[in-house]
Structure 1
Amino acid sequence: MVLSRRPNRVASLRCIMMLLAGVIANLQLQLMLAVQPSSGEGEVTLPRQNPDDWVMFSKDTAYFRECVKHFKMNHTWGKIHAPFVDKVEAKEIVKRARVTGLDVIPTLALLDKKNISQYSLELMKSLKQPYIIKSTHMSGGVARVFNNRYHCFKYCDYGTSEMPLGTKAFEVSKSQFTMDIGLDYSRNGGELQYRYIKPQVIFEEDIRSRTATDVTFWWVSGGHPVFVSQQCEQPAGNKQGFQMKRVFLSTDYVRLPIVFNRGVCGDAPPKPASWERQFQIARALGKLFPDETVRVDLYDGKDGKVFFSEFTFTTAGCWRTFSPTLADGLLWALAHHELSPAVASPTYIQRVLADRSWVLLSLDEEGFLIRNASSGHPSPVDMCSIVESFGSDNESKQKFFDECILRARDVKGSALRCLVYRGTDQDMISFGVDRASQDVASRGNLNLCEKNLPARR
């Protein structure tokens, strides 16, 4: 089964995506540009940008934005994607794909509404430990049975206390999945793919002791692996993998300045021995989704194996977005074939996310720079989201954003794009500079824009 170009979708009116703005502190990468140094210290002379290059000028050219507007509350989309997020059917799809070097976690038992009466303490004890219990049609209620002990550890309704595998554990377990199996998970957030999955409870081998880290998230778009989210925090106490800090990496294992919904670590962990194999697996599975953005979740086994976990199309219910927003835009552009995979190499991804050539200069009433309100950004949308925040209501916010984007378009072709916002008269101008700072971590671009400011009025 391959998902081809999307059908027409019904937009959801229930959700509005909030865009995160600002620069990510403490994540500093070297700007990678193939240029020759100029005579100015710490500066380079850059060629003007190709006018055909893809640049993110719209909030709507973003994966999470599209998800909220077109995927959620969309029955057609939900029916098509249901098999891929069904925890039973997804395994079968992956098996049929015959991807070299990819293992599928063995299923030990399945229960549904018809045979739930067969569930018993004896069944729990008869299955080979350690194993995982979870529902196939939702997220949460996940439990682990190991060393004759029971522990529900992820989004549990009857507590997360670890207990002996006895009558109480059986009763807690049955109560949890009896409730889950009768739940229409799609009602929680409009993710209608879950409505078209047969509710079941799956018992599968627990491979935690065979893996080095929690599941690794490979973000694949247009069939092309783009970037990766990996656990970077060591387990401590009862902390579970889904609660730990993560770090974003390029596919050639260079740290990226992306933040999503968890804390970040100071350093990336050592590169897994299976990294290249994981990349090849993610690319092979990505071919199932040539016009889609999908998160391919893989486990890195200590024994050299790579295990499939699941496919995810609506990460975190699409309530969040990346910072910077450009990361979101890159996924959209690849899925819609506005950015070629041949262009979106790991070096390209590193460079554009680290870029700070869209510079906002905020001026006071006398025309002097307000430094703590001025900053560089990797895209017009990231920059203009800051300008948008200056508005006092939704109407003025949208007006500020639209005006900022309009001014940004005027200087798209320049190497360094400077936008000047003067709050007293809400005036904006933009100008381009063909020199930029070599050090993305510095405020060099801000200084260059300031140096080239038109004469104060």
Structure 2
Amino acid sequence: MPHIRHPYSFNEKVLFRKFIKGDYDCYAALSDKILVRDYISHKIGEEYLIPLLHTTDNPETLFELETLKDTVIKPNHGSGMVKVFVEEPDFVEKHQLIERCGEWLTKDYSHEAREIHYRYIKPQIMVEQRVGDGKSTAIDYKFHMFNKQDGHFEYVLQVVFNRSDNQPLSMLFYVNNLDSCFYRRFDTAGLDISHNRAALEKALALSKKLASDFDYVRVDWYISQGDVYFGELTFTPGAGLMPVLKHGLDEMMGKMWLQDGQSATQAERQESAPSTAQKKQ
């Protein structure tokens, strides 16, 4: 069972944020995929935003758009609900899309895993320009940013492949560097991030600016032709139930997170808690 009131692993600290101490109003405003765009424009500039083509609370208005080719359609109030069009959908596909969007709008995402802040987001449908090379799904670059409260940050970069391709999600994890991969999940042989090194260094610098107001936040990015585009801010990744943090990564990330409201006793317990690697030894 997780130690929710006295957390030391990353997942436990996410649960602590969910149930014990969380600024739900702030999380809601910045988890709203539409409202967060104003925050991004103010903090780092609107040039990092993916072009937004349409927003609506009436899915029928999607019929009025000139084209849906090279677009991403999703709601603003949750995760895992997305439809990508590389080519123009036909009449049947558009009707199926309208029906699906209607279902999304009625969904209270806070019921999925009790991430309370999603309850306070007004559901809307958004249509974005698709980012990518036209051949494969865009790769997600997720920076887990840990504010050390002295002007410095630690971070874990989680790179996600095969999203929306009906395949198991392959992942790479980098800890406090962009050169040496700490952990590979599933078939990632031959995959690395070296070809996007300059763009990722820029994304990291921007992530520090966006994370400066929080003890922890995950900042997601996409990269296309060397340009970086903001994805979203996430305050409770995986709802505190992320099974992919293997090889001691859950404990390691927990130690990186100096959580607001954590007592000295809890911090001492965290430091003294043996890591998975130590237990194996």
CA distance in 2, matches of 1:316, 1:80: 19
Of structures 1 and 2, the one scoring higher in RCO (CA 8 A, sep 6+) is 2
Query: Aligned AA for 1:60?
Result: P
Question: How far apart, in 1, do the equivalents of 2:139 and 2:199 lie?
Answer: 14
1:295-338 Cα offsets, whole Å, 9 max, x none, are 11011121x2100000112222211252233544444444338x
1:239 to 165, 178, 198: 165
In 2: Cα distance, 1:330 partner to 1:67 partner: 11
Shift of residue 67 of structure 1? 1.6
What does residue 93 of structure 1 align with?
A: 39
CA pair 257-268 structure 1, distance change in 2 beyond 3 A: same
Contact 1:134 1:202 in 2 (8 A): yes
1:132-184 superposed Cα distances (whole Å, 9 cap, x missing partner): 110100112311233212xxxxxxxxxxxxxxx21x22221111111111111
1:385–1:276 Cα change, 3 Å: same
Partner residue, 2:188: 265
Aligned to 2:11: 64
Equivalent-residue separation in structure 2 for 1:128 and 1:256 (angstroms):
37
Shift of 1:78: 2.3
Of the candidates 56, 71, 77, which is equivalent to residue 131 of structure 1?
Answer: 71
Aligned counterparts, 1:198-209, within 5 A = 198-209=122-133
Tell me the equivalent position of 1:318: 240
Contact kept, 8 Å, 1:87 with 1:136, in 2: the verdict is: yes
Amino acid at match of 1:148: E
Q: What corresponds to 1:230 in structure 2?
A: 159
1:249 CA displacement = 1.6
CA contact (8 A) 2:71 2:128 kept: yes
| 1:251 positional shift | 4.1
With structure 2 as the length reference, what TM-score do the two structures score?
0.79
**Cα distance, 1:279 vs structure 2:** 1.7
The answer on whether the counterparts of 1:258 and 1:327 sit within 8 Å (CA) in structure 2 is no
**Contact 1:212-1:300 within 8 A present in 2 as well:** no
Please list every run of 5 or more consecutive structure 1 residues that lacks an aligned counterpart in the other structure.
1-15, 19-57, 150-164, 338-378, 387-445, 447-457
The secondary structure found in structure 2 opposite 1:208 is coil
Q: Deviations over 1:276-298 (max 9, x none)?
A: 21221111212132x2x211101
Gap change, CA 1:325 and 1:99, over 3 Å in 2: farther
Q: Which amino acid in the other structure matches residue 73 of structure 2? A: I
Instruction: State the match for 1:119 in structure 2.
Output: 61
Q: Distance in 2 between matches of 1:249 and 1:88?
A: 29
In the TM superposition, structure 1's runs of 4+ consecutive aligned residues that sit over 4 Å from their partners are 73-76, 210-213, 383-386
Is contact 1:71-1:78 (8 Å) kept? no
Distance in 2, matches of 1:258 and 1:59, equals: 27
Whether 2:11 is the aligned partner of 1:82: answer no
1:42-86 deviation line (CA, Å, top 9, x unaligned): xxxxxxxxxxxxxxxx98212210222x22246953223111111
Tell me which residue corresponds to 1:108: 53
Match of 2:97 in 1: 173
d(CA) in 1 for partners of 2:88 and 2:33?
25
- Equivalent-residue separation in structure 2 for 1:134 and 1:195 (angstroms): 17
Aligned length: 262
2:118 pairs, out of 183, 194, 210, with 194
Distance 1:128 1:177, change over 3 A: closer
C-alpha distance in structure 1 between counterparts of 2:193 and 2:235, whole Å: 28
8 Å CA contact retained: 2:11, 2:254? no
Equivalent in 255, 258, 274 of residue 380 of structure 1: 274
Q: Is the 8 A contact 2:44 2:209 kept in 1?
A: no
2:263 match: none
Query: Which TM-score applies when normalising by structure 1?
Result: 0.51
RMSD of aligned alpha carbons: 3.3
C-alpha contact (below 8 Å) 1:59/1:381 kept by paired residues:
no
CA distance in 1 between partners of 2:179 and 2:119 (Å): 39
Higher helix share: 2
User: Quick one: which of 180, 183, 200 aligns to 1:255?
Assistant: 180
Who wins on radius of gyration, i.e. which is larger? 1
Aligned with 2:192: secondary structure? coil
Whether 1:148 aligns to 2:93 is no
SS of equivalent residue, structure 1 residue 180? helix
Q: Partner of 2:139: helix, strand, or coil?
A: coil
Instruction: Say whether residues 1:305 and 2:227 are aligned partners.
Output: yes
Deviation of the 1:254 alpha carbon: 2.9
What does 1:355-434 correspond to in 2, within 5 Å?
A: 380-382=274-276
**Counterparts of 1:276 and 1:88, CA distance in 2:** 26
1:33-48 correspondence runs (5 A): none
Counterpart-to-counterpart distance in 2, 1:253 and 1:141: 30
